[in-house]
């Protein structure tokens, strides 16, 4: 009984870890900053939510949330062009974990 309970817990835990690994957020690198406009090159394929008119959130390598609702104004290949009043807090070459933002989050 204890063996089967242990195996069940083990399989559930392994399934959760696998599911979390499958939903890894894309990484992005800042390539250009011009005033409030920022270009971010996404590593790999663009996620479905990364389209013109959408919103982006960005977390730096230290885990600090830098952008919460930056508007995606254009998409050029795998480069997202966003506008944010917090662009001055970003630096060219900096890496971020990207996620879907919300319009109500504001920036």
Q: Which residues contact 47 (CB under 8 A, 6 or more apart)?
A: 26, 98, 100
Q: 42: number of CA atoms within 13 Å, CB side?
A: 23
Domain positions in the chain are 26-105
DSSP 43: S
Render pLDDT for 85-97 as a digit per residue (tens, 0 to 9).
999 889 999 999 9
Query: What tokens does 80 get?
Result: 């997202």
Question: Of the given ranges (3-7, 9-13, 14-18, 87-91), which has the lowest mean pLDDT?
Answer: 14-18
Whether residue 16 has pLDDT greater than 90: no
Architecture of domain 26-105: Beta Barrel (2.40)
If you count them, how many residues does the chain have?
107
Sign of CA dihedral 55, 85, 38, 89: negative
43-58 pLDDT tens trace: 989 999 999 999 999 9
Q: What is the pLDDT of residue 9?
A: 75
Q: Is the pLDDT of residue 15 over 90?
A: no
Residue 69 clears pLDDT 70, i.e. is over it:
yes
- Mean pLDDT in residue range 9-13: 61
């Amino acid at each position: 009984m204890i063996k089967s309970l242990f195996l069940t817990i083990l399989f559930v835990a392994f399934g959760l870890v696998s599911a979390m690994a499958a939903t890894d957020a894309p990484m992005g690198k800042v390539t250009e900053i011009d005033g409030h406009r920022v270009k971010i090159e996404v590593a790999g394929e663009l996620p479905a939510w990364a389209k013109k008119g959408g919103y982006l959130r960005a977390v730096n390598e230290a885990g600090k949330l830098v952008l919460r609702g930056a508007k995606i104004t254009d998409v050029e290949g795998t480069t997202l062009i966003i506008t944010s009043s917090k662009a001055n807090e970003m630096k060219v070459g900096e890496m971020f974990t990207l996620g879907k933002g919300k319009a109500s989050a504001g920036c």
